[in-house]
Amino acid sequence: MIYRYIIIGGSAGSFQIVTKILSALPKSFNKTIFLCLHRLKHVRSGFVEALSIKSNIQILEPYDKEHIKPGKVYLAPANYHMYFELGNYMALSTEEPVNHSRPSIDLSFFSAAFTFKNNLIGIILSGANKDGALGLKNIKDNGGLTVVQDPAECQVKTMTTAAIQTTKVDYILTSDQIINFLLKLE
């Protein structure tokens, strides 16, 4: 299977893990990474900059209808849901929050599963609510690969535990193992 897209969901305790993953990936990494992380809705700037400090890959907060390119990281903007449309472009939405969250990991994962099917890898990291559990199941149901950070390693394990309970996930990995796993995709 050729995995072209990786979508990562996380909340409390995921920032350090995402930073670690991005710093370990080479500039030449040719998959597209989508980040759907819970964040303060009124703080629009600073997040991309903070993530970019150690990343070798360019991180973007996409505009609506922005074309999706390989080798980029797209971070869901504050206070929007992030979707992926057939035709390979992004869509944003201000629909009601889901699981008290906008961006909602479930909604982004549903959309990615529908659009990218078995070319997709879904990863759930540390987090404090259950957002993402149904989304990850949907990725699995659509033929994608599912990975969850080992709850034992998570700062807050609610999100990863919920994901594991909802789906028979393919891999439960520590952050170091996630990095190795992604590096081997190359």
Partner 1 sequence: MNDFIGIVDFRNIIKAINETHGLDLSDFAFTSLKRRFERLIILNNLNSSEELIEKIRKEKNFFEIIMDAILVDETEMFRDPSMWRELRDKVLPLLASNSSPKIWVACATSGEELLSLAIVLRESNLDEKVNIIVTTISENNIYRIKRGIYDSRKIELYDANYRRYNPNNELSKYFSISGNRMIMSQALLQNTEFIKHCTYFDELPAKVNLVLYRNKMIYFNQSLAGLTVKMIDKSVLPGGFFIIGIKEFFDDSGVKGNYIPFNKTESIYRKRNS
Question: What positions carry a catalytic annotation?
Answer: 11, 38, 131
Shortest Å, Cβ 170 to partner 1: 20
Q: Which is nearer to partner 1, 54 or 65 (CB)?
A: 65
- Asked if omega into 62 is within 30° of 0 (cis), the reply is no
Q: Which is nearer to partner 1, 64 or 186 (CB)?
A: 64
- Look at residue 164 and give its three-state secondary structure: helix
Alpha helices in the chain (DSSP H): 15-24, 47-52, 105-116, 133-141, 158-166, 175-185
The residue from 20, 97, 151, 174 that contacts partner 1 (CB under 8 A) is 97
Residue type, 76: A
Residue 22 per-residue DSSP state: H
Residue type, 136: L
With binding defined as CB under 8 A, does residue 69 bind partner 1? no
| Residues at the interface with partner 1 (CB under 8 A) | 42, 44, 61-66, 77, 79-80, 83-86, 91-97, 107, 110-111, 113-114, 134, 138, 141
